[in-house]
Structure 1
Amino acid sequence: MALLISLPGETPAMAQILLLLSSACLHAGNSARSNGGNDFGVNQPERCSGVQGGSIDIPFSFYFPWKLAKDPQMSIAWRWKDFFGHFIYNSSMPFIHEHFKGRLILNWTQGQTSGVLRILNFKESDQTWYFCRVFLQTTEGIKFWQSLPGTQLTLTQALNTTMRSPFIVTSEFTTAGLEHTRDKRNPSLMNLGAMVTMLLAKVVVIILVYGWMIFLRWKQRPDPA
């Protein structure tokens, strides 16, 4: 569904003013219909979603029955938040809203009837409605119309890209340990060596004690007659 303004011989500035007045009246009645013979409109998805910090695309296309003038002066503009919201982009100026400075890209060229509006570094504050407006010069005069439903952008939760598998984490800790002990002896290995040495010393002492006791008992045995 779209709102059409047809102004033969009028200037673009006057057309924009009248568009606001006419669209206000239509919005108050909560309806906007085109006649059966006026096959025109703007196609946008009902909603799109993206992750914070990423990019999000709003595809659009439009159609119309009129014959274009030799210089059609075709242009695309976008509003946000509601049907009467502020313009955030206008290809004919060009103009980009302060909130979107350096973050809007319109993938569309003069003469095409479809394209994509891309928002970079998608933010939580970007979650709202977006409306595409088409402007062109026909042999019947200036005509421009705008999508009524628009497209709602929402933020989705992204997977935690910092999570890693236990195997990778173990590998990292092992590598870190090797780098840390490359130029110095490992205290754990030193402790283990000391424990082994002490154990061996105890075993030797025990063997010597038992051997000495066995020797004394052997010496104390009575001589056979």
Structure 2
Amino acid sequence: MARILLLLLSAACLHTGNSAGYQKKYDYAVDQPAVLSGVQGGSIEIPFSFYFPWELANDRPMSIAWRWKHFHGEFIYNSTQPFIHEHFKGRLIMNWTQGQTSGVLRILNLKENDQATYFSRVFLQTTEGMKLWQSIPGTQLIIHAFSTTLGSPSIIPSAVPTTGLEDTRGQRNPSLLNLGAMVGMVVSKVVVIIPLYGWVIFLWSKQRPAEERLNPSKAPQC
């Protein structure tokens, strides 16, 4: 009975050791977002981070590279050369410092044909030799066409209240203008008629004494 228990304990120890070794072998990875989207003419940032169990060998043991389109696609960036793909000349910025385990790949002035999947790749110089691996799913980048409706001034506060209206500053009401014209005409006629009537009365008053001298019988009796 004691011999059987000893065999079972030995088997359990061996199983535990193998399990621990398996976990250590795969204790490294690269993390990236699964999907990102951007707009043509804009920019996008693809963050990444990685971890590993090994001891680094020297002062500059890390190197980062990027591929696109598929897992074995062309390299678009390599920090050791340095190298930038012709398609991304002047549009690619890598925000990463030697020794850090995270960074950001930034793509400027996005184009329609930038839509693809991007994979970060890590190179390490360790005390156990060169180690390299990359993200398996990568980051799918979706590019949206620029929409002019997003930036169109569809609502302009200064234009809304004046729509369909005319600027009436300095203008008078037409009815007031008509009334003023009528009053002006009446006044002008009065100005002309009053002197005329005065002149007629003056002539009549001078003519009456002359008629009385010629016809005394028509003179008033006292």
- 1:149-184 Cα distance to aligned partner (Å, 9 max, x none): 0001112466612325231335999xxx9xxxxxxx
Higher mean C-alpha displacement, 199-208 vs 59-68:
199-208
Match of 1:84 in 2: 72
Instruction: Choose between structure 1 and 2: higher helix proportion.
Output: 2
Give the secondary-structure state (helix, strand or coil) at the position aligned to 2:159.
helix
Counterpart selection for 2:157 from 136, 147, 167: 167
Contact 1:72 1:138 in 2 (8 A): no
Higher relative contact order (CA 8 A, sep 6+): 1
The Cα of 1:199 is off from its aligned counterpart by 4.8
Q: How far did 1:126 drift? A: 1.1
Q: 1:46 aligns with which of 34, 40, 44?
A: 34
CA contact (8 A) 1:72 1:136 kept: no
Give structure 1 stretches of 5+ with no counterpart: 1-34, 178-185, 213-225
Conserved? CA contact 2:61–2:126, under 8 Å: no
Other-structure match for 1:116: 104
Once the 2 structures are TM-superposed, how far is the Cα of residue 143 of structure 1 from its aligned partner? 1.1
User: Within 1, Cα distance between the matches of 2:103 and 2:82?
Assistant: 17
**Residue 140 to residue 149, structure 1, CA distance change in 2 (3 Å):** same
Q: In the TM superposition, what is the alpha-carbon distance from 1:66 to its structure 2 partner?
A: 1.1
Which residue in 1 is equivalent to 2:63? 75
RMSD across aligned positions (CA)? 3.4
Aligned twin of 1:201: 181
Question: Are the equivalent residues in 2 in contact too, given 1:44–1:59 (CA < 8 A)?
Answer: yes
Note if 1:99 corresponds to 2:87.
yes
The aligned amino acid for 1:146 is Q
Q: 2:140 aligns to what SS in structure 1?
A: strand
Query: Aligned residue for 1:138?
Result: 126
Q: Which amino acid aligns with 2:180?
A: L
**Distance in 1 separating the partners of 2:169 and 2:126:** 86
Deviation at 1:147, TM superposition (A): 0.9
Query: SS state of the match for residue 69, structure 1?
Result: coil
Question: Could you list the runs of 5+ residues in structure 2 that have no partner in the other structure?
Answer: 1-21, 194-222
Matched, 1:61 2:41: no
Paired residues in the alignment total: 164
**Quick check: which has more Rg, 1 or 2?**
2
What letter is aligned with 2:156?
Answer: P
Correspondence for 1:127: 115
How many angstroms does 1:194 deviate by? 8.1
Gap change, CA 1:69 and 1:165, over 3 Å in 2: same
Identity of paired residues, percent? Answer: 57
2:151 partner letter: T
Q: How far off is 1:84 after superposition? A: 1.4
Identify if the C-alpha distance between structure 1 residues 70 and 172 changes in structure 2 by more than 3 Å, giving closer, same or farther: farther
Superposed displacement of residue 103, structure 1: 1.0
How far apart are 1:71 and its partner, in Å?
4.1
Letter in 2 for 1:200: G
Once residues 138 and 72 of structure 2 are traced to their aligned partners in structure 1, the CA distance between those partners, rounded to angstroms, is 11
Q: 2:60, 2:98 within 8 Å by CA — same for their partners in 1?
A: no
Q: CA deviation at 1:208?
A: 9.5
CA shift for structure 1 position 121: 1.4
